[in-house]
Structure 1
Amino acid sequence: MSDADSLSCSLTLESDEYDEEEYDTNLSKLLENKTLNWIFVGGKGGVGKTTTSCSIAVQLAKRRESVLLLSTDPAHNTSDAFNQKFTNQPTLINSFDNLYCMEIDTTYSENTAFKLNKTEFFDNIIPELLQSFPGIDEALCFAELMQSIKNMKYSVIVFDTAPTGHTLRLLAFPELLKKALGYLINLREKLKGTLNMLKSFTNNEMELEGIYEKINHLNAMSISIQSNFQNPLKTTFVCVCIPEFLSVYETERLIQELTKKNISCYNIVVNQVVFPLDSMTVDVAHCEGLLKQIKDKQVQESFSSLVQKTKELEDVYISRRKLQSKYLTQIKNLYGNDFHIVCMPQLKSEIRGLQNISNFSEMLLESKEIPIYR
């Protein structure tokens, strides 16, 4: 059975398994939590992660002393969202005195300030390390980066992350780094006698000690970062999705991986939800009765065309609601007992500019029933 088939089966839970006692359907508890230092916002591409992370940051700015919105998504949509250019240095967002934003590249770069000093020893060992632990170069950069972020004096940092696959890789870096550095430390112990003998023939004793000191520092740093990731009082993850199969599938995959890594996750934001409209139903019989009362043929044809178009719109609306309800039901059945599920409405236009983001952020505080079509 394929992963998709497996998930499809797991998503079709019986409704009687669902406990009616639900979590709040808003983000109030997340925003009022004063102990959190890192809030990661992630999900499939195109589901509204940046809008959600920006909105969370705006609300936190009302509650915390200082807030940093940090984009690790290579697309860096935060600049577009606020209509303001951000760089790899914290920049104060217009109209705020305590909300900052920065956009960083989490991939390894030869120009990174966090690169290890090049030595003949490292030139020889790094190729073997890369072969044994693919991605260790990026993990080293990420570790130094996270350590510098950890040292920043912000009350809370909101991470606007890249799409799911990239984010899962990023979250796996601390464990990868721990394994790789453990390998180097063990290697040092095995070669200790040989290296001590080499010291007597070389002037590089200080250089070798410097390398080991750096390795031990990085190892302690990776343990510290992993500890932070796994502390639910300090770190949490907000999943963002839309009520469609691929998005729900990726959300399940993301939550499973977060669970394996012991990373707290108890909030799901479902964007682009079509809510019920009281006045949408077309009374065809009533319209036909009105049509008979119209004497003017041209007006009759115009009215008839209008009724037809309205009926077509209603059909599209109902079809959309039925399709979304299928996945909203699955989300409710899977996560209703353990997560705050926040449904956000499909809006007429994209969310850009501080005013629109602020309006959207207020909706995150409103409790809304999950709109299942009956």
Structure 2
Amino acid sequence: MFKVFNIDDIKLTKYLFFTGKGGVGKTSIASATAIGLADKGEKVLLISTDPASNLQDVFGIDLDNKGTIIKEVPNLVVLNLDPEEAAREYKESVMAPYIGKLPETVLNNMEEQLSGSCTVEIAAFNEFSTFITDKDIQRQYDHIIFDTAPTGHTLRMLQLPSAWSDFISESTHGASCLGQLSGLESKKDMYKQAVETLSDGEVTKLILISRAEYSPLKEAERASKELRDLGVNNQVMVINGILDLEEGSKDDDVSNKLYSKQQEALKNIPDYLKDMETYRIPLRSYSMTGVKNIRLMLKENYLETEEGKLKRQDIPNLKELIDDLYISKKRVIFTMGKGGVGKTSLAAVIAVGLSRKGVKVHLATTDPAHHFKFVVNEDLGITLSNIDEKEELNKYKEEVLKKSRETMSEEDIEYIEEDLRSPCTQEIAVFRAFAEIVEKAEEEVVVIDTAPTGHTLLLLDSTESYNKEIQRSKGDIPSSVQNLLPRLRNEDETEVVIVTLPEATPVYEAMRLEKDLKRAGIKNKWWIINSSLFMTNTKSPLLKTKASSEIQWINKVDEISKGNFVVIPWKSEEIKGEELVNLIK
């Protein structure tokens, strides 16, 4: 269907940006491209700005933000930037002018606002911009490759320097959520040049990485649209991990099902992507670590013979997890994890399992692309609800402005309008909707797919004090929200089940999530590793070898969770209806 991704057949520009949903293989492909170009005698700089970067595992050495020459690839320099560290420095620089001048409660609020994802995005883009615009770096390298490109959301923020400039210069309050942007003025010209370079097809190519699956392809479509809307049209797509049935083994049931599932996804590729220049990379059996394997990734396959061992053989099953939730009488249960790991279906499984024990259960989600009514049959006796984020945002804005106008001056109203334009507003609006659903825990067990992040919890916590400081808390923070924070921090009532996949990036991202929750004072006991080939008992030599690479990540989760984890086998069909029940028998 698509030509194989071969760097000899593609016009590769000076700047190459690899982007895609977590776990699709963008770090491996960016690294393989870098090694391939360096092997041809090109001078290459490979840079990662991914907070969950596994570049160090790929090359098997410690990396820093100064640049490391790879011994086996003399023409390649690898640089691992830490956007979270950059965000910390950025936060300090933004807050510095206000320390000692604003009340402590306002400073605390600013600090938490600057701990969010927007700040990390801006800090990462700041690092991008330096390497794109530095003339010395341009002269030193033939190709500069970025693992993880800026999102359309980041570019949209930074492509409006005049609007932000006017906004920042007119703002006299200094404590808005838009504090993330208050440090941009001095770098406006550099950012403008960086965005122009990104849009220039003569020097830049943006490579969207996906897999032959519904969710990653939809994510690629969304990213492509956002970037095209901002003038970044120089895009190609690479679909990673496509199974060749001959190599997979026609006699193996798992191979046949995986092949059929991938072909179905490719046949129904989003219309928006159909005309894009697209390449494929065959499914490789070996793990994507070490220069040897990465060098081969774009060339050939081989079967590794070495196989690790699980640290424990008696891995708990879903029934044991549900029994534990039932016995410990948890009232609020979240499934949390990055998009595409299966948390929606697993929230439904947990709800069904508790319902079959006679528990009254309410199941809720914020996922706009997934409705539980298609997953859970009505006869299972579970009530359902869906949080519409856009609807909640508009409702929250209207409510805040209406109440503010009752008691506030025009100047204060301007402040509120400023605050409501911030990225944090949607977080708080959705959080309030969560609070209303969790209040149902007084009468029934509440299972929610996708919980507020630790950042959102702390943001709202600091906002309570902040609101009192500017005297707008009257009726603005419902009792459901005031009760929610203590409830979520009470491990006797609440359980967060972290869902991941047996691969490097999803596990690293799940570890960051756990750290975020701890920062908010929320404990987590259970983990679920979903979609494991290792647990399918496949007989295909290729898939069996591929499955063995999962062992290190299963062992890693075993260690983190102190043995409180479940591993779910890979399944070709979406889990719904009677399948939910079968999974917990």
What TM-score do the two structures reach when normalised by structure 2? Answer: 0.42
1:317 aligns with 2:299: no
For each residue in 1:85-104, what CA deviation from the matched residue of structure 2 results, as whole angstroms up to 9, or x when unmatched? 11111111122222111111
Cα 1:73/1:30, change in 2 over 3 Å: farther
- Checking the alignment, whether the CA contact within 8 Å between 1:57 and 1:69 is kept in structure 2 is yes
For the structure 1 residues 354 and 329, does the alpha-carbon distance in structure 2 shift closer, same or farther, using more than 3 Å as the test?
Answer: same
Q: Does 1:175 align with 2:159?
A: yes
For residues 258 and 146 of structure 2, what CA distance do their matches in structure 1 show? 32
Contact kept, 8 Å, 1:115 with 1:141, in 2: the verdict is no
Aligned to 1:243: 212
2-structure distance, mates of 1:136, 1:44: 18
Report the Cα offset of residue 239 of structure 1: 1.1
Task: State how 1:138-287 maps to structure 2 within 5 Å.
Answer: 138=120, 141-142=123-124, 144-150=126-132, 151=134, 152=137, 153-161=140-148, 167-175=151-159, 177=161, 179-184=163-168, 217-277=186-246, 280=249
Deviation of 1:187 after TM superposition, in Å, equals: 7.3
Higher mean C-alpha displacement, 102-111 vs 343-352? 102-111
Contact 2:5/2:279 (<8 A) preserved? yes
CA deviation after TM superposition for structure 1 residue 238, in Å: 0.8
Give the drift of 1:146: 2.9
Cα distance, 1:220 vs structure 2? 1.3
Secondary structure (helix, strand or coil) at the match of 1:68 reads strand
> Which of 62-71 and 80-89 deviates more?
62-71
* Aligned partner of 1:111 among 78, 83, 89: 89
| Correspondence for 2:292 | 355
**Maintained 8 Å contact 2:35/2:295:** yes
Equivalent position amino acid for 2:221 in 1: E
For the residues of structure 2 that align with 1:74 and 1:137, how far apart are their CA atoms? Answer: 12
- What is the CA-CA distance between 1:106 and the residue it aligns to? 2.4
Tell me the distance in 2 between the aligned counterparts of 1:102 and 1:110: 19
Letter in 2 for 1:46: G
Q: Which amino acid in structure 2 is aligned with residue 73 of structure 1?
A: D
Query: Taking every aligned residue pair, what percent have the same amino acid on both sides?
Result: 21
Tell me the alpha carbon deviations over residues 290-321 of structure 1, each in whole angstroms, 9 at most, x when there is no partner: xxxxxxxxxxxxxxxxxxxx5xx2x3322222
Q: 2:18 aligns with which of 41, 49, 58?
A: 41
1:233 Cα offset (Å)? 1.4
Q: Which has the higher contact order (CA 8 A, sep 6+)?
A: 1
Please say if residues 23 and 338 of structure 1, whose CA atoms lie closer than 8 Å, have aligned partners that are also in contact.
no
Task: Quote how far apart the aligned CAs of 1:331 are.
Answer: 3.2
Residue-by-residue CA offset, 1:321-346 (whole Å, 9 max, x unaligned): 2211111123396545331x222222
Q: Kindly indicate whether residue 71 of structure 2 is the aligned counterpart of residue 102 of structure 1.
A: no
Greater Rg over alpha carbons, structure: 1
User: Which position in structure 2 is the counterpart of 1:205?
Assistant: none
Are 2:284 and 1:329 aligned? no
Give CA-to-partner distance per residue, 1:181-231, whole Å, 9 cap, x none.
Answer: 34345779xxxxxxxxxxxxxxxxxxxxxxxxx976422112111111211
Paired residue secondary structure (1:325)? helix
Whole-angstrom CA distance in 2 between matches of 1:137 and 1:123: 23
Secondary structure of the corresponding residue to residue 220 of structure 1: helix
Distance 2:248 2:89 in 1: 59
Unaligned runs of 5+ in 2: 173-182, 302-585
Residues in 1 aligned to 2:198 and 2:261: alpha-carbon distance in whole angstroms? 36
- In structure 1, the partner of 2:283 is 346
Q: Work out whether residues 2 and 280 of structure 2, in 8 Å CA contact, stay in contact via their aligned partners in 1.
A: no
Inter-partner Cα distance in structure 2 for 1:223 and 1:123: 32
What is the alpha-carbon distance in structure 1 between the residues aligned to residue 5 and residue 61 of structure 2? 28
Secondary structure in 2 matching 1:159: strand
With normalisation by structure 1, the TM-score equals: 0.63
Q: Which amino acid aligns with 2:45?
A: L
Is 2:8 the counterpart of 1:26? no
- Distance in 2 (CA, whole Å) between partners of 1:253 and 1:81 is 28
Query: C-alpha distance in 2, partners of 1:332/1:64?
Result: 38
87-96 vs 141-150, which deviates more?
Answer: 141-150
Task: Give per-residue Cα distances to partners, 1:100-131, cap 9 Å, x unaligned.
Answer: 1111122453435994694469977x999x99
Q: Structure 2 vs 1, CA of residues 170 and 103 (structure 1 numbering), >3 Å: closer, same or farther? A: farther
Instruction: Measure, in 1, the Cα distance between the counterparts of 2:157 and 2:184.
Output: 16
1:30 offset after TM fit, Å? 7.4
What do residues 234-273 of structure 1 show as CA deviations (whole Å, max 9, x unaligned)? 2221111111111111111111111112213432221221
Q: Secondary structure at the match of 1:89?
A: coil
Report if aligned partners of 1:27, 1:267 keep a CA contact under 8 Å in 2. Answer: no
Any idea what SS the aligned residue of 2:268 has?
helix
Q: How many residues matched?
A: 281
What residue ranges of structure 1 are gaps of 5+ in the alignment?
Answer: 1-21, 189-213, 282-309, 365-374
Q: How far apart in 2 are the matches of 1:53 and 1:348?
A: 18
